[in-house]
Amino acid sequence: MGPPRPPTPLGTLSAASACRQAVGGPRSYQTAALTAALREDIKAAASKKQTGVSMKHLLDFGTQPLERQMLLSSRFLHAEIPIRLAHRLMDLNHLPPELSEEPHVRRVKGWYAESFADFRSFPPIKDNVDVIKFTAMLKNAFRRHNNVVPAIAKGVEVYKRGLKERRESTEERESEIQHFLDTFFLSRIAIRFLAGHHISMFDPPRASHIGLVHTACSPYQVASDAVAEARAICFREYGNAPQVTMLGNSDLTMAYVPSHLHHMVFELVKNSLRAVQDRYSDSDAEPPAIQVVVAEGLEDVTIKVSDMGGGIPRSGLHRIWTYLYTTAKSPLPDVDIDTSNMPAVLAGYGCGLPLSRLYARYFGGDLQIISMEGYGTDAYLHLARLGNDEEPLTESIRTP
């Protein structure tokens, strides 16, 4: 177990232990207040500015980073992640009370508070031994937050349902919630990428990989793998799946995070497959193939996903970027965030497109959807080449 850590400002208990004791155990964070000292610490950290990191800086580590580099990385994360967690905790606390105190949202606040306490109770990082211990702590925090997206989605879904039952106006609340979710989920993407990138540096070296970044990532191959997975799911649900045609330069490579790219293309192709399959489900005609095109430009790489699934009405096009909007039956009412097999990435929960756009924008890219009602939809996924641009950290929302 190792020697005990020195006392912290919360007393002889570590901050995390004090947090657990204050709120009555690991599954009770949503039911009780944090210690006054921890609340003040979170408030002070939230007043500090978040520090963005350029992707080029991360790539400069090399495939086998030196101990000095990992020491600097650990020290940066040790100081920076609590600030980001504190910003998000303040955002959660400034939501409308009915949403902020919703049990699933309170559970998320508990996870964030415990992780914040873990970081605060960890002593200054002085050498490589401390780096190893810090990375183990970081892994635990990383796992703790696996179910944040479905928990927040469930909380928002319950809150929206309550507004409808009370017949309250939702237009103003919708805008505020949309802003909050964009900020919250973008921050989550950033924190998980920085943490995952650091953790992966301790994995056995992989050819052409620097942490989570594949320096010779093939957009064509990643897209092909995402297509295969999406079609397999379509087969499982419908017993059939439209064909998908791949076009473009299969030899093109670029520095990118394959898991992010796979998630984005999977979401787009999944939506197209369902649209086409639904439109032709009662027809004897063969469903038209979906087309995926990978194109290289001077500034970025673009992946286009085109379908003839009937398109989206122009009046409703803006709704596809609204969280929890889905034309499929939502599985959220059946969500149990305490189950160990809860997927970290939502598929069909009405979060896929807005989350995919955030993934693209995190690295300086974008996602655009153009629809022709009565015909089909074209999705353009723009991938920026990783460079000097810093993370697009948005400031926390605040209500008066």
Contact 264, 367 (CB under 8 A): yes
Q: Is 146 designated active site? A: no
The C-alpha angle 390, 396, 400, rounded to 5 degrees, equals 155
Q: What's the pLDDT at 130?
A: 97
What is the predicted pLDDT for the residue at 328?
A: 52
pLDDT of residue 55: 75
Alpha carbon distance 351, 254 (integer Å): 27
What is the C-alpha to C-alpha distance for residues 19 and 121, in angstroms, rounded to an integer?
11
Catalytic residue among 80, 114, 157, 267: 267
What Cα–Cα distance (Å) separates residue 360 from each residue in 149, 275, 381, 389?
17, 23, 8, 13
CA dist 55 and 205 (Å) reads 19
Q: What is the pLDDT of residue 282?
A: 87
* Pairwise CA distance, residues 278 & 310, whole Å: 10
Which of 261, 276, 226 has the alpha carbon at shortest distance from 246? 226
Q: What is this structure's pTM? A: 0.83
Helices (H), ranges, 239-326: 258-279
Active site residue 263: yes
Point out the catalytic residue in the list 114, 271, 304, 391: 271
Active-site choice (104, 145, 260, 263): 263
- Contact predicate 102/158, CB 8 Å: yes
Residue 176 has what pLDDT? 83
> What one-character DSSP code corresponds to residue 146?
T
Identify whether 271 is a catalytic site residue: yes
Architecture of the domain spanning 36-207:
Up-down Bundle (1.20)
**Annotated catalytic residue within 145, 260, 270, 382:** 270
Q: CA dihedral in degrees (65, 69, 70, 75; nearest 10)?
A: -160
Which residue type occupies 104?
H
Whole-number Å distance between alpha carbons of 91 and 357? 21
Residues of the chain with pLDDT under 50: 1-32, 331-332, 339-348, 395-400
Task: Choose among 56, 49, 111, 122: nearest CA to 80.
Answer: 49
In the chain, where does the domain assigned CATH 3.30.565.10 lie? 213-332+344-384
DSSP secondary structure code for residue 32 in this structure: S
Two tokens, residue 106: 């309170």
Give CA separation, 311 vs 167, 212, 371, 374, in Å: 31, 35, 5, 6
Amino acid at position 147, single letter: N
d(CA 335, CA 73): 36
What tokens appear for 135 in the block? 């990375």
Burial 17-29 (b: 16+ CB within 10 A, else e): bbbbebbeeeeeb
CA angle (321 as vertex; 315, 326 as ends), nearest 5: 80
Query: Which fold does the domain 213-332+344-384 belong to in CATH?
Result: Heat Shock Protein 90 (3.30.565)
Mark whether 299 is an active-site residue. Answer: no
Comma-separated ranges of CATH 1.20.140.20 domains in the chain = 36-207
Tell me, what's the pLDDT at 336? 56
